[in-house]
Amino acid sequence: MSTPPVSKPRCWAEIDLDALRHNLAKAREWSGCELMAVVKAGAYGHGLEPMAAVIAQEGAAYLGVAHVGEARRIREAAITTPIYLLGPTWAGEREEIVAQGWVACVSSLDEAEDFERLAAAAGVQLSVHIALDTGMGRGGFLPDELMKHLEALKAMTHLNWIGIGSHLPSADEDRVFTESQIECFERVIDSIDGVKWLSWRHLLNSAGLMGYKSPSCNLARPGLMLYGVSSNPQCQAELATVMSLKSRITLIRTLPAGHGVSYGRDYITDKPTRVATIGVGYGDGYPRHLSGKGAEVFLAGQRCPLLGRVTMDQIMVDVTDMDVKVGDEVELFGAHIPLVEVAQKAGTIAWEVFTGITPRVTRIYKS
């Protein structure tokens, strides 16, 4: 029996694993620290298992995930790098965390007591970090709360306190506040003699490690920069592009002057216009909010303007006077159209565009 034909993908994301390796090295170089590589949300839409596997090969101290579902997938992929849960846990997740030996950061006395009880019941020693809130307002002990509970925490016989971490809400926006957070973090570590008994001290995300030093830190937590995007334009040129979102022209026609293009007829041709239809839309994660915002795609060596609204599965671009044909490749973002430009025009951030690339988009890895 002959196998039925299978078409090439309509819309795909090319993911360059060498670029990931390059960016990991940059994160190490710039921070001077070991890395907790952040791979939450499917490694920012790049695909959790393949990215985690490369990061593990390159040697990271931790893989940082948002929750136990992601931790489980990494373990099922037989990746043995220690796994760190970046936020508070709720009671229904803790038994699994204790059984698997995943590393939680603890935000409250209640959370610590529950882990202590579960670890005792399982007969294990559980490694945990202290989460400290120096200004993010999302999790962690406030500094004076930590002081109040410190003795109780240290007295828990089934918990090994091996680290302390805090998070920066505005390292790419507010230098004065970020420096005050670093001071606060350093002051707390100093006052609890943390360098002596906490093996890991960590504060800096991508924007943090590109612009700041926190003297007692020996671990950095980069996410976005590993995927080739810098919130600091000066560092962008030193990072390598990891993901390129691509599709193909499915149709080319010349529309007469006065013809509407796409839903709502926001765009009306003012002259005869050669219009290419491309097989990508917001159903793939190409942001619908790009409609009418001057967005461009890269095609046949040049930029061409998006016409009218982004639809679920298709967009239209102006290819008047261009030498293009049906089947030609189109870059939506990547080496020629920076992701940051797409995010800005869509009124959002790079993180959201990456994590919005849907499962319908085939991820193609090259090393």
- The minimum distance between CB 223 and ligand PLP, in angstroms, equals 3
Catalytic residue (one of 148, 213, 263, 325): 263
Residues that bind ligand PLP (CB under 6 A): 38, 40, 86, 167, 205-207, 221-224
Catalytic-residue membership of 8: no
- The minimum distance between CB 151 and ligand PLP, in angstroms, equals 26
The count of other CB atoms within 10 Å of the CB of residue 8 is 8
Identity of the residue, 346 or 350, whose beta carbon is nearer to ligand PLP in the bound complex:
350
Catalytic residue (one of 40, 62, 84, 267): 40
Identity of the residue, 22 or 221, whose beta carbon is nearer to ligand PLP in the bound complex:
221
Give 243's strand partners: 15
Identity of the residue, 223 or 308, whose beta carbon is nearer to ligand PLP in the bound complex:
223
Give 165's strand partners: 131, 202
Identity of the residue, 122 or 340, whose beta carbon is nearer to ligand PLP in the bound complex:
340
- The minimum distance between CB 292 and ligand PLP, in angstroms, equals 29
- The minimum distance between CB 172 and ligand PLP, in angstroms, equals 8
Answer positive or negative: Cα dihedral of 9, 245, 239, 229. negative
Select the residue whose beta carbon is closest to ligand PLP and give its number. 223
- The minimum distance between CB 102 and ligand PLP, in angstroms, equals 15
Catalytic-residue membership of 40: yes
- The minimum distance between CB 279 and ligand PLP, in angstroms, equals 30
Identity of the residue, 228 or 287, whose beta carbon is nearer to ligand PLP in the bound complex:
228
HEC-encoded secondary structure of 177-240: HHHHHHHHHHHHHHHCCHHHHCCEEECCCHHHHHHCCCCCCCEECCCHHHHCCCCCHHHHCCCC
Identity of the residue, 21 or 167, whose beta carbon is nearer to ligand PLP in the bound complex:
167
Annotated catalytic residues are 40, 263
